[in-house]
Structure 1
């Protein structure tokens, strides 16, 4: 979990239902969004560095020092002692407003419409590592700038963030693909071919496939990948 442990991070626009109709499981959502979300987390980590976080729930903001203050959406919390997850919309004692849990409510609706338990069930057994699954899915669906895991000792809260300041810090790093993608597929079960195709498409690459080989090009840079007959990555070069 080394890479994911480095970065634990509102867009009022969820993708249209037409865009999302193909994704009926959490695995399919990870295949669709995992690469680009993972990529964004790197840029976010570079921006905030080692700064400590501070949450102001009343204002709906998280800060990493005086110059890095961002609006948030609260997704939910995990208890380290019981290893259980609780969605923000189910936490009736928290006093959270609908405004700050808007994304969590939209994810609940999506989970109910598509029978995705991790999105529709209010609470369930969970590990700290699984927090990245929630953060990645939520950040991807809502096109967030980042997600962040706010660990406060007894538990942790996941928030998503949308900010022009973060988006302007994005880097179009070609060689990052060769680091991001292998680590992504080591964290989650997925169809490697689909996940890489979605990731490269999100980064603006033109893709062609010839059987089990994929070639992607952008601005003179090329990525090539080979897969076995079960769509598992064998070779990745760029």
Structure 2
């Protein structure tokens, strides 16, 4: 099975992006330091730094000509090799799977469609094992990045509502196989469509598209009884 399938990564990447937002201040801004090879998020009102994250570059979109340039192909910028590891791996996987352009284009090319940069970021993060994608918008374009690690965000407890938001955001943004994406994200469900670890229930329509989702509350645990200890003691 191809590694270059959105289904493999998209929901997990979106959830992790939500996790990132949860540990950042409202109205945060970003700054990239190529010397330190860090993506910094900070509060523009106070200039207080919220996070410094190692990152990877995917590519850049130029708004006016509507073109895309892979970071590995941007030789004029003398980018550090360390921030190109994921995107070079993406290119290598594409070549191994026999895929050519646009994965191997070494010049700026016409943007195939609006979501192209986002989709390539998801694939790059998935193939490279990054935590989440982040699109750095600026006057004239967008710099697509992968945030490698965010321990504070990763440590947040699971939240069924966050999971549902991630799925809803994904299916409304781009096209892909819903069932395969949910399977990659949550594993196999019970017979009634419940994904126990995530605490949600997902129903699909006849075309395999997600029709309904809901959080599933765990039944309250029964208080322990003195008889329980006796039953366990005698194997009953």
TM-score by length of structure 2 reads: 0.78
Q: How many residues end up aligned between the 2 structures?
A: 205
| Residues 1:36 and 2:21 are matched in the alignment | no
Q: C-alpha root-mean-square deviation of aligned residues, in Å?
A: 2.2
SS of match in other structure, 1:55: strand
Q: Displaced runs of 4+ in structure 1, greater than 6 A?
A: none
Is 2:185 the counterpart of 1:217? no
- Structure 1 Cα separation of the partners of residues 193 and 105 of structure 2: 38
The Cα offsets for residues 148-191 of structure 1, whole Å up to 9 and x where unpaired, read as 11122112211112224344443310122222212211212111
Which structure has more relative contact order (CA 8 Å, sep 6+)? It is: 1
Q: Give the Cα–Cα distance (whole angstroms) in 2 for the partners of residues 171 and 222 of structure 1.
A: 12
CA contact (8 A) 2:89 2:128 kept: no
Q: CA deviation at 1:42?
A: 0.4
* Alignment partner of 1:125 out of 110, 122, 137: 110
> Which of these two proteins has the greater Rg computed from alpha carbons?
2
1:119-158 to 2 correspondences below 5 Å: 119-122=103-106, 123-126=108-111, 127=113, 129-158=115-144
Q: For residues 115 and 187 of structure 1, do their structure 2 counterparts lie closer, same or farther at Cα, with a shift above 3 Å needed?
A: farther
- Check 1:168–1:36 CA distance in 2 against 1; reply closer, same or farther (3 A cut): closer
Change (3 A) 1:82 1:237: same
Does structure 1 residue 227 correspond to structure 2 residue 204?
A: yes
- Name the SS of the counterpart of 1:229 in structure 2: coil
Residues 167 and 189 (structure 1), Cα distance of their counterparts in 2 relative to 1, 3 Å cut: same
TM-score w.r.t. the length of structure 1 is 0.77
Residues 158 and 223 of structure 1: CA distance in aligned 2, closer, same or farther (over 3 Å): same
Tell me the SS of whatever aligns to 1:224.
Answer: strand
DSSP 3-state at the match of 1:186:
helix
Task: Tell me if structure 1 keeps the 8 A contact 2:22–2:153.
Answer: no
Contact conserved, 2:204 with 2:211, CA < 8 A, in 1? yes
The question of whether the paired residues in 2 share the 8 Å contact of 1:227 and 1:234 is answered with yes
1:8-41 deviations in whole A, cap 9, x for unaligned?
xxxxxxxxxxxxxx126x5xx2111111111001
Q: Name the CA shift for 1:229/1:61 in 2 (closer, same or farther; >3 Å).
A: same
